Amino acid sequence: MARIEIGKYLAVDSRVCGGRLIFKGTRIPVAHALEMTEAGYSPDGISKQYRGLVRPEAIREAQSLILRGFLKEETRKLKVAA
């Protein structure tokens, strides 16, 4: 599979992280950041945890796409904080 870019901040590439949804320019799975939102972290707090490698806007984009049903990833059992 070739690289597929989703929105401004997300991508899937079979050569990176086993084809899992990641934040562009990183090897950070979107699912990890979304699990942190379930644990109570804000997008700004998650960005700080990843030393700014993931921008808060990227986390908000992932949350928005999941809430609108465009992405399923392995986050389907997670509640995404608005």
Q: Summarize pLDDT for 41-60 with one digit per residue, the tens.
A: 999 999 999 999 999 999 99
* Residue 79 scores a pLDDT above 50: no
Please tell me the predicted confidence (pLDDT) of residue 72: 66
Report d(CA 24, CA 9) in Å as an integer: 5
Domains defined along the chain, listed by start? 4-75 (1.10.10.10)
Confidence class for position 80, pLDDT limits 50, 70, 90: very low
Please tell me the predicted confidence (pLDDT) of residue 46: 97
pTM of the model: 0.80
* Residue 69 scores a pLDDT above 90: no
DSSP-assigned letters across all residues of 30-62: HHHHHHHHHTT--HHHHHHHTTTSS-HHHHHHH
Write out the two tokens for 40: 């109570």
Please tell me the predicted confidence (pLDDT) of residue 1: 66
Please tell me the predicted confidence (pLDDT) of residue 82: 43
